[in-house]
Structure 1
Amino acid sequence: MTSLRRSLLRRLAAPLSMLALMSGLIAYWLAWQYTQHVIDRSLADLATAISKQIQIAGPDAPFTVPPLAQAMFSDPAEALIYRISDGEQELAGDPKLPLRGINVRRMHHAYVFEAEYDNRAVRVAQVRVDNVEGGRPMVVEVAQPVRHRYRIAAEFLVAIMMPLLLLLLAGWGIVWRVVNQQLGPLTHLADSLNRQTHTSLEPVDETDVPLEIRPLTSAMNALLGRLKTALDAQRKFIADAAHQLRTPLTAVKLHAEQAATARDPQQTLTAVRELRAAADRAVRLSNQLLSLARAEPGEQAARFVDVDLAAMAFETGAEWVPRALAAHVDLGFQRSDDPGDDE
């Protein structure tokens, strides 16, 4: 069985979840790109700061790393690596740091590229110092493992996804509440229909019914109206049937009593014949009532036939003749078109 509530929740919650997921992925991608740019910029700025100190000190001056850079290089969380060389000898840093790599990108006075160092992927910022007095050009490199960026990106992802998850849960709650509110009229409609009985069929109240459900409630009210009409017709038929069968059954009972109390065989035979005639009339009336019950309600009004009221009155009067004779009452029948013909 298909549930409208589950279908609506699925159709609304699924796009909402996909939207939240896509928003999270887009936000993570933007955060990753921003992280890449910021870290590359910080590496390039650090390499540029070191290169400026070399320019100021000159090639023969003892090289010292700036205090801020020393603090960063000694911080295990930063995992920074540096190298300073003049092409022939290493002046400072780790000589294993490569001078070339892939995906080279220029950023101000530095070049940023990817390389491999100690079996690890690193991001390197390289600055060339050309105007060192009396010396060869020098190269300053500052590198950082790529996994450091992944860690920062993961922190960004957690920071982004937590609010999105809360918003998603709030969105699901709003969807659940709205769906229940919109399906409320259907629940009220079901309660109204459950209160209906075969003795009381009232139209469904359409005051608070949404416009989209009005055709359904209108059809139900029309159906209830037809059902009420059919039940009223059934009750009327039962009442009419009881009334119509009362007279023949009374005649049958009367003739049976006469047959039981008659002492003359001729009177007994007459009573039996009248009993049989009354029984035949009762059977005929029962068949007519059954035919009327099987007939369609719409066809009852269309099938009118002429009825011989004189014959009907004669048959009805004949049923009461025995009782009238027993009570010494003169019972007569006279047709309106034949005043002289009395029976």
Structure 2
Amino acid sequence: MSAGKQASLRRQLIVRMLAMMLPLFILLWVIAYFSSQYFINAAFDRSLIRRTYALADRVEVLQGQVQVDLPVAARELLVFDQEDLLFHSVVNPAGQVIDGEQDMPPLPAYQRIRPGQLILYDGVKDGERVRVAVFALSLKGTSARGTALVEVGETLSHRSAMADRATLAIVAPMLLMTLTAALAIAYGVGRGLEPLSRLRDRLSARKAFDLSPVPLEETPAELRPFLDEINSLLQRLSEAVESQSRFVADAAHQLRTPIAGIRAQAEAALASARQEDARHALERIAQSSETMGTLVQKLLILARVDAAENTLRLVRLDGVEVVREVAREWVPQALAKGVEIGFETRDSEAWVMGDAQLLHEMLSNLIDNALRYGGTRIGLMVHRSGHEVAWRVVDNGPGIPEAQRTAVFAPFHRLSGSVDGAGLGLTIVQRIAQLHGAQVRLQAGEGGVGLAVDVIFPAAPA
């Protein structure tokens, strides 16, 4: 992701918190709307019921006929409303309208009304939604029989307007509170992220090679794990830089010696008048050149191994075939030096995860060391045991004293009295083993004679 498209942590926090508040606001608005609708409808329904009962009180029976004794003032009061249209109807037991509207909205088909019962229902009159209360007035005890229906209805304009005003009265403060909370969240998030800004300023003010730990004072607890990891990384980086500096200094020192020797021998050969002295000087130059060439080669291999850490891709390899192939390549050199080299294994295959080229280089270094410092016999073995695969290179030479078996893995370390080699062979072996998750162990050879080098790999999954 490019720098211009990277999401801001501050923006993410604000957006996520507001995103959580928005559904809550909508839910509260819905609750407020339906609650106001419910209570306002209940209030208007009570008023409608009172008007219905009031009209029912004006119904009387004279000589078996149902009549409505409704004074003009009462009739005007019944139909008076500033916003809604009010209407009524009184129906005798024969189904005839004796007072009021002729076309009242019919009672829903699924409802049945019993004498003495009052029902509220919604309907449509003249294309407008209305609310109707119908009361079944029993005529029992009078000179008439049956039940008269008393109906009072009204349009819904007033109650809808009041519900909207009530909802607005609730939602407006809620919206204001939400906006205030959003501003408070934005301000709080900004203040909460100030430690990150201060940390950024401290890091940007550092010099390029300042690898000292980042101070943990005045940092929030949430940043401590993050800073601990940064300090751990800086410590490892500091150790790597220091190790690399020592290695470069040691490499420069190691290269300076053969170069100085070559120069001295070349000057001696030029100054000598005798052919024998010149030939001897040239032989020393050739020997020093070979030593320097070996050292340079080892340094290049070590640099390649270090660089492979970031690009290494391990594949499934048969360790038996890898060791057998490397042993076959070194047979001519071993025979030329009068050294017997052999290979044995009890397993037909021993799979490991590795890089074939690096494993070839590691095993070649072990064989090269055995040829240089070993005796007259070198043995290569492969053994699989449970979840491990072991490679062994053993010789019958002088071996390595137990007290020095850890130190020999350091770059340019040589045993006492040893001048041959570059002192990098076991360093390369250990670095390659570490890249493969393997361990290198040094111990005495068979019968306590010579040196046995074991490289223990985790077995590759089937």
TM-score bucket of the superposed structures, by smaller chain: 0.5 to 0.7
Query: What CA deviation, in whole Å up to 9, does each residue of 1:10-51 have, x standing for no partner?
Result: 654443222222222222221111111111122233445566
Q: Distance in 1 between matches of 2:178 and 2:298?
A: 71
Match of 2:85 among 79, 83, 86: 79
Aligned equivalent of 1:124:
132
Partner residue, 1:21: 26
Counterpart CA distance in 2 for 1:302 and 1:217 is 36
CA distance in 2: counterparts of 1:68 and 1:176, whole angstroms: 59
Given that 1:50 and 1:65 are in contact with CA atoms closer than 8 Å, whether structure 2 keeps it comes out as no
Aligned equivalent of 1:248: 258
1:206 matches 2:220: no
Q: Which residue of 2 aligns with 1:237?
A: 247
Closer/same/farther in 2, CA of residues 118 and 289 from structure 1, 3 Å limit: closer
Deviations 1:42-85 (A, max 9, x none): 22334455666889xxx797721349727834x3x222223467
Look up the match of 2:50. Answer: 45
Mapped to 2, the partners of 1:21 and 1:104 lie a distance apart of 39
Of 222-231 and 184-193, the range deviating more from structure 2 = 184-193
TM-superposed CA distance for 1:204, in Å, is 2.1
Structure 2 match to 1:341: none
User: Deviations 1:190-246 (Å, cap 9, x if unpaired)?
Assistant: 665566665221212222444344333222212211110110121122223323433
How far off is 1:125 after superposition?
3.4
The residue that corresponds to 2:233 in the other structure is: 223
For 1:25-104, list aligned pairs within 5 A: 25-48=30-53, 63-66=71-74, 69=77, 72-73=80-81, 75=82, 77-83=83-89, 90-91=98-99, 93-97=100-104
The answer to whether the 8 A contact 1:46-1:69 is kept is no
Q: What amino acid is aligned across from residue 21 of structure 2 in structure 1?
A: L
Distance apart, 1:166 and its partner CA: 3.4
The alpha-carbon deviation at position 163 of structure 1 amounts to: 3.2
Larger radius of gyration: 1
User: Residues 167-178 of structure 1: matches in 2 within 5 Å?
Assistant: 167-178=177-188
The alpha-carbon distance between structure 1 residues 247 and 130, as it changes in their structure 2 partners (threshold 3 A), is closer
Which amino acid letter does the alignment assign opposite residue 97 of structure 1? Answer: M
SS of residue matched to 1:18: helix
Q: Which residue does 2:417 correspond to in 1?
A: 308
Matches of 1:98 and 1:65, distance apart in 2: 26
Whether the 8 Å CA contact 2:79–2:85 is kept in 1: the answer is no
1:70 and 1:250 map into 2 onto residues whose CA distance is 125
Structure number with greater CO (CA < 8 Å, separation at least 6) is 1
Other structure's SS at 1:65 match: helix
1:104–1:63 CA distance, 2 compared to 1 (3 A): farther
- d(CA) in 2 for partners of 1:292, 1:100: 97
Greater CA deviation, 3-12 or 226-235?
A: 3-12
Structure-2 change in CA distance of 1:68 and 1:94 (3 Å): closer
Q: What TM-score does the superposition give when structure 1 sets the normalisation length?
A: 0.64
Letter in 1 for 2:101: D
Change (3 A) 1:272 1:100: closer
Letter in 2 for 1:114: D
Given that 2:408 and 2:414 are in contact with CA atoms closer than 8 Å, whether structure 1 keeps it comes out as no
Match of 1:327 in 2: none
Q: Is the 8 A contact 1:50 1:66 kept in 2?
A: no
TM-score normalised by L of structure 2 = 0.50
State the shift of 1:264 in Å. 4.2
The letter for the 2-side match of 1:22 is: L
> Residue by residue, what CA displacement relative to the aligned partner does 1:146-168 show, whole Å, maximum 9, x if unpaired?
46544443444444333333333
Report the secondary structure of 2:73's partner residue: coil
> Could you tell me how far apart the structure 2 residues matched to 1:234 and 1:85 are?
108
Q: Offset at 1:182?
A: 4.8
The CA distance in 2 between the partners of 1:290 and 1:60, in whole Å, is: 118
Q: Distance between the aligned counterparts of 1:60 and 1:243, measured in 2?
A: 126
Give SS of 1:97's match.
Answer: coil
Indicate the residue corresponding to 1:273 in structure 2. Answer: 283
Identify the structure with the greater strand proportion.
Answer: 2
Gap regions ≥5 residues in structure 1: 313-343
